């Protein structure tokens, strides 16, 4: 092989390695974001289920109730939960729970549910 052939092959090899490393780095970042979203969704859903289990006139379900909580998940990250309760009518309330990783600018996951005194959920 000549020197030029060796240089060309090293150049092609380095371009392939750099492209592959960028792809791997990007996939790691995307995987972490997805794990954060799944954890946020699970925490918000658990909080919604807890609030649905309370009686309709419970103190935590009063009009204008807002609460910020922090919760640690399995991967030891701290999540911020924002709970908002609104009375829609005398017999219906709207519960909204937003969840996101504390200190990161990931998208916020928001779940809302309506509960009724007459129906029971």
pTM (whole model) above 0.85: no
> Does residue 91 sit within a domain?
yes
> Does residue 108 sit within a domain?
yes
The model's pLDDT over 74-97, given as tens digits with 9 standing for 90+, comes to 767 889 999 999 999 999 999 999
> Does residue 22 sit within a domain?
yes
Specify the CATH number for the domain of residue 19. Answer: 3.30.1300.30
pLDDT at 119 over 90: no
> Does residue 121 sit within a domain?
no
Give me 84's structure tokens. 């908002």
pLDDT at 50 over 80: yes
pLDDT at 45 over 70: yes
Give the number of domains in the chain. 1
In which domain, by residue range, is 72 found? 3-116
Whole-number pLDDT of residue 20: 92
pLDDT at 19 over 90: no
Whole-number pLDDT of residue 1: 65
């Amino acid at each position: 092989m000549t020197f030029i052939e060796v240089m060309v092959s090293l150049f092609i090899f380095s371009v392939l390695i750099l492209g592959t490393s960028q792809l791997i780095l990007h996939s790691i970042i995307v995987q972490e974001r997805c794990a954060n979203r799944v954890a946020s969704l699970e925490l918000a859903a658990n909080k919604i289920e807890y609030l649905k289990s309370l009686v309709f006139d419970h103190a935590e379900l009063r009009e204008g109730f807002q609460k910020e909580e922090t919760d640690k998940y399995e991967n030891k990250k701290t999540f911020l939960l924002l709970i908002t309760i609104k009375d829609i009518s005398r017999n219906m309330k709207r519960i909204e729970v937003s969840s996101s990783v504390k200190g990161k600018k990931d998208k916020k996951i928001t779940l809302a549910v309506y509960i009724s005194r007459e129906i029971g959920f």
